[in-house]
Amino acid sequence: MRPSPAIVLAHHYYCSDNGKTAHGLVRGSERFRVYAVVDPDCAGHDAGELLDGVHRGIPVVASTSAALAIAPEPPRHALVGVATHGGYFTPKLRAYLLEAIQHGLGIVNGLHEYAADDPELAAAAQEQVVELIDLRRPKPKSELRFWSGAITTLTIPRIAVLGTDCAVGKRTTTRLLTQALNAIGIKTEMIYTGQTGWLQGGQYGFVLDSVVNDYVSGELEQALLTCAQQVAPDLMLIEGQSALRNPSGPCGAELLISGGARGVILQHAPARQFFDGCEHLGYRIPPLADEIRLIAMYGSRVLAVTLNGQGLSAEALAAERERLEIELGIPVIRPLTDGVERLIPVVRDFIRSEHKP
């Protein structure tokens, strides 16, 4: 696919966890070519350098007009790069969407609130003849699939990239590992389960939290079967959402039971003590060893742990990695610091074990 030129709207959120959609798009997308990130709070910097110290030639600018002025070709879309609480438009965000539309840009929106249902946004889009794409708008129920069990005949190995909480880097690790495995000839497909995975160019998957619960397992099954039928990869990596025991949205069992993922890579943020948004309620993230035992009870095996270093110095993260590797007896890796190459032999061994009679 030829990437479509675009800008990313991340007003007041880019330098926070709520800018994770923008972060994914800055790290890379095959669907959109991002020319600028709009956020007046951190304008004047390179978006990649702000994110992880890597210069990517994507400037952060203060306004949509400034983004349009520096784009080497006219952008077609403004991508909503923020995750607001509850997925709603804040008054300021809604004003920024309207401004982008008035500049002749279509909106690609991954929040739970739909741009096309907003009368003012819809009228402006009609006047400017631009499209409003709401990624979380569910398909009609007549088009949704119920789990059939057909996946039980699928022999292609599956690994789920789960996390001990939401917003710990599951998608990023999945994407990095997919790229690394393909680079050495292990044909790997990422099965996305969130809107950012689609924005980054994912070909197979669905937006899990926009599907009526009864059909989540069936839509997952269908994505896996379609991928297998169309490209027959050596391995499928399934992007996880939230966490098995996050009380505000437990998720992950579907990937293990309905998706048949027998291997797991577990993403963890060691500095985080409580589930995101549940700090005031005292809901602590369980110890890693406890989570690994729970996953084993589902019939799956944790192959490795990957760490998010948020809130830790480089030295503290390195020490935690060494401590956990000794404690758990499996590889513990820092994907953004060290890369994912140490995962490759682990994945190879898993693929071989899945093909044993």
3-state SS of the chain: helix, strand, coil percent to 5?
45, 20, 40
Whether 247 contacts 278, CB under 8 Å:
yes
Domains of the chain: 4-134 (3.40.50.720), 143-354 (3.40.50.300)
Whether 222 contacts 190, CB under 8 Å:
no
Whether 236 contacts 259, CB under 8 Å:
no
- 333-354 pLDDT tens trace: 999 999 999 999 999 999 999 9
- 209-227 pLDDT tens trace: 999 999 999 999 999 999 9
**Total number of residues shown for the chain:** 357
Q: How far apart are the first and last CA of the chain?
A: 39
96 vs 11: CA distance, rounded Å: 8
C-alpha neighbours within 13 Å on the C-beta side of residue 6: 27
Distance of CA 348 to the CA centre of its chain: 24
Whether 235 contacts 206, CB under 8 Å:
no
- 225-243 pLDDT tens trace: 999 999 999 999 999 999 9
Confidence class for position 357, pLDDT limits 50, 70, 90 = low
Its pTM stands at 0.95
321 token code pair: 């990695």
136 vs 138: CA distance, rounded Å: 6
Q: What is the mean pLDDT of the chain?
A: 96
24 token code pair: 């994914």
Over residues 255-277, mean pLDDT: 97
Q: Which of 35-55 are b and which e, b meaning 16 or more Cβ less than 10 Å from the residue's Cβ?
A: bbbbbeebbebbbbebbeeee
Estimate the crossing angle of helix 170-183 against helix 20-27, to 10 degrees.
Answer: 10
Q: Which of 124-163 are b and which e, b meaning 16 or more Cβ less than 10 Å from the residue's Cβ?
A: bbeeeebebbbbbebeeeeebbebeeebeebebbbbbbbb
